[in-house]
Structure 1
Amino acid sequence: MTKKVFLNLGKQPVTNSYLKNLDNLDKEYFYNLKVTYNDKNNLVSLKNFVKPTMMFNSKYAHRASSSKTMQSHFKELSKECKKKIKNINCLEIGSNDGVFIKNFSKKNTIAVEPCSNLANLTNDMGYITYPVFWNQKISNKILNKHGKRNLIFSANTMSHIEDLDEVFTSIKKLLDKDGVFIFEDPYILSVLQTNSYDQFYDEHAHLFSYLSITNLIKKFELRVFDVKILNVHGGSIRFYICHNDGKYKKKRSVSRILNIELKNKINKFQTYKNFANKIRRSKKKLLKILKDIKKSKKLIVGYGATYKSSTIYNYCNINSKLIDYIVDTTKNKQNKFTPGSHIKILSPIKGLHKEIKYIFLAAWNFKKEIINKEINFLKEGGCFITHVPYPRTITLKNVRKEIS
């Protein structure tokens, strides 16, 4: 196995480790965020993995249901699943706050969620939820107690798991003869095309392509029969996987996506080296925009204390001297400080007022939703700042082009 480092994003904190105060900063944990390309299976991974219990625990802050975009996204997928599969008995790996499973029968649905605070939410909703990490042990327990599943689903979780061989071994055993394993995660080609280097952080142990997943699942006698490119989370890919002898015929989308990936040379290490050069230039441009604004003594507010933004702030050395504070609707992030960069997080009610003229779109993957929500900010002369696909400002004058 040959892994080659192509990007070094420096020292980074655990993205979920929001600080209650700025005492004892010498104890704050950091790791080296380097990204590798495996020229044997085309998989993009972190060089150094963070211990799962440091990232996924009872303090986990992200709530998928807080986004209307994601609520609608998963509701539409649930409708598709019900059309495709009769008498669904569903398992979700990484159920978060139940944004997907709430669309299915409580009687025939099981969830696995290692963050106990989130597992408690779905258990309270009436769904059997195991508060553990996904591995062969829990897979065998579910198989023995509940039987095989004809639908296994996972969103933004497979990319979090270091040992992918164990993942697919477990799923192979648990998936019914004509069952479907559907999962979606950030797409490496979207990252390369949009220069969204903030998709690399502690939780994203891997970023997938059709090529890499196909190479990974061969030895488990599994195959991809359909694949879709999604707009959510800044560009994701959804895989539909079945047993080699499953009833599903390969869709045209599979060959189409393969051709796109080969055309974009995601199987060439030089592609990733070129990407790294773009990211270094992006850092310089973003810092120039922020520093020029601060010279005029204006406030800059971050919009969304996202996990992805932790990579931006720490790689670009952005702190409270450049971003005055961040607003976020997630209550258990409010009145805390961002990891590593130590920027205060406030509620939008407290933080967004008429004096604010510059907002940095940390949650750029929800750009359209945010701009539509805050359109009056632009009408009153405000300006958004974004770094994807390149650092620039968004005003009322050019907003239509940005959200079309």
Structure 2
Amino acid sequence: MTPPTCRVCGTPLRTFLDLGDHPPSSAFPTPAEALAGAGDTVRYRLAAGACERCALVQLTGDVPHEHRPYAGYPYHSSGSSVMREHFRRTARRLLRTELHGKGDAFAVEIGCTDGVVLRTVAEAGVRHLAFEPSGYSGYHGARVHRAFLTADSAREAVAAEGRARVVYAANTVCDIADLPGLFAGLDELLAADGVFVFEDPYFGEIVRRTAFDQFYDEHRYYFTATSVRALAERFGFRLVGVERLPVHGGQLRYTLARAGRRTPAPAVAGILAEEEAGGLTDPAALAAFAGRVDRVRSDLVALLEGLRAADRTVAGYAATAKSCTVTTYCGLGPSLVPYICDSTPAKHGRLTPGARIPVRPPAAFAAPYPDYALLFAWNHADEIMAKERAFRDGGGRWILYVPEVHVV
């Protein structure tokens, strides 16, 4: 069997984590589809490797293109009040630092979902456009081009709008299979002194927190400052800014400019030195991470089996993409987690991918409350626990598995 190679530079990958065969994380079948043996039958190998040359961490397998969730994508940025405010702050910052005072500025977002960032940009009177291939239509007034950013689609945009001062993406670059194609589009689209700003889950935080559920089909890449620097330089760009973000369990925001146009901020050298000193993608560090992941699985299954033996009721909370990784890798099903409550109406009455756990609306959580709730959206724990205070006040306990299995 041919060993996997880096999607960007073609160098062999060192596989360090193998979570087994998984369904697409957004394939929620109806009960009828499940009964007929359909709905989530596609499987791919969820394994990750690190490139020996550029240090880019990436999935070694993939879901076929036709089974990926570009149409009717169920995640909406505005679903969390914390994320709504995060994106509004981000938009205001880009307006202040890169767009205001720059004449007839033009801003672009890649993968806008429901348009939280661009709505703020539009309200400030700045021209904007999103490259958003999904079929979702609730963009809150943002102008959307339903296409991937490529050299061809970028040339179309430039012909109509001119070059962009800013191209922004959040939780999107990590899922773009053709990174060389993306950078070809950026080369066409960005103004000479423009910037590409993107934020994605930080592999350093994934390792530190043992957050193995960040691995799923919609995240092909797990960036570090080291790998982003190598990626940028390969395509004529330079990493000039980096910022730690607390959202989604720990992210980095990267700022890229054309080579020679901007001087890197001091934070760039600082985090590069930190990653080198810590040996983030060294084989020993990655093996230790995989060992901790295995312990989490053993501990979580043991806890849930013990609660079932003691006749304690358990419910899942938030049918996220991450929950698909956890339930599949840990072998959880309705016998251990009878149902999962989720706020996304499109998931209600359906079953989770692979595990076939029923998804119920939020009202089901209190009808009646379970004894324990397994929180899959741990990255929103503070917001969720504050909203569900009555659950704790009534004696309910939360089960979390990051960075290790524990009950609060």
TM-score, with structure 2 as normaliser: 0.92
In the other structure, the counterpart of 1:67 is: 80
d(CA) in 1 for partners of 2:64, 2:129: 26
d(CA) in 2 for partners of 1:321, 1:91: 47
d(CA) in 2 for partners of 1:391, 1:303: 16
Selected match of 2:35 from 23, 28, 32:
23
d(CA) in 1 for partners of 2:229, 2:400: 34
Selected match of 1:230 from 236, 240, 245:
245
In the other structure, the counterpart of 2:128 is: 109
Selected match of 2:110 from 84, 87, 93:
93
Following superposition, the deviation at residue 133 of structure 1 comes to 2.5
Following superposition, the deviation at residue 250 of structure 1 comes to 1.7
In the other structure, the counterpart of 1:143 is: 158
Instruction: Flag the 1:328–1:26 CA change in 2: closer, same or farther, 3 A.
Output: closer
Following superposition, the deviation at residue 267 of structure 1 comes to 3.7
Q: AA paired with 2:37?
A: L
Selected match of 2:95 from 79, 82, 101:
82
1:33-44 superposed matches below 5 A:
33-44=46-57
Aligned-partner SS, 1:152: strand
d(CA) in 1 for partners of 2:147, 2:254: 24
d(CA) in 1 for partners of 2:38, 2:108: 42
Structure having greater relative contact order (Cα 8 Å, sep ≥ 6): 1
d(CA) in 1 for partners of 2:281, 2:141: 45
Aligned-partner SS, 1:9: strand
Instruction: Flag the 1:385–1:107 CA change in 2: closer, same or farther, 3 A.
Output: same
Aligned-partner SS, 1:100: helix
d(CA) in 1 for partners of 2:199, 2:58: 16
1:152-191 superposed matches below 5 A:
152-191=167-206
**Is the 1:327–1:347 contact (alpha carbons within 8 Å) kept by the matching residues of 2?**
yes
Following superposition, the deviation at residue 296 of structure 1 comes to 1.3
d(CA) in 1 for partners of 2:244, 2:23: 30
In the other structure, the counterpart of 1:399 is: none
Following superposition, the deviation at residue 172 of structure 1 comes to 2.0
Any gaps of 5 or more consecutive residues in structure 1? 395-404
Following superposition, the deviation at residue 245 of structure 1 comes to 2.5
In the other structure, the counterpart of 2:302 is: 288
The percent of aligned pairs where both chains have the same amino acid is: 28
Is residue 288 of structure 2 the alignment partner of residue 274 of structure 1? yes
Q: AA paired with 1:176?
A: A
Following superposition, the deviation at residue 71 of structure 1 comes to 0.4
Structure 1 segments of 4 or more deviating over 4 A? none
d(CA) in 1 for partners of 2:175, 2:159: 26
In the other structure, the counterpart of 1:352 is: 366
Aligned-partner SS, 1:121: coil
In the other structure, the counterpart of 2:16 is: 6
**Is the 2:239–2:264 contact (alpha carbons within 8 Å) kept by the matching residues of 1?**
yes
Aligned-partner SS, 1:7: strand
Following superposition, the deviation at residue 126 of structure 1 comes to 3.4
Q: Deviations over 1:349-379 (max 9, x none)?
A: 1232344110001101101111111122112
TM-score, with structure 1 as normaliser: 0.93
Q: AA paired with 2:117?
A: F
Q: AA paired with 1:305?
A: A
Following superposition, the deviation at residue 121 of structure 1 comes to 2.0
d(CA) in 1 for partners of 2:266, 2:126: 35
d(CA) in 1 for partners of 2:274, 2:260: 27
In the other structure, the counterpart of 1:402 is: none
Query: May I ask how many residue pairs the two structures share in their alignment?
Result: 389
Following superposition, the deviation at residue 240 of structure 1 comes to 0.9
Any gaps of 5 or more consecutive residues in structure 2? 1-10
**Is the 1:172–1:222 contact (alpha carbons within 8 Å) kept by the matching residues of 2?**
no
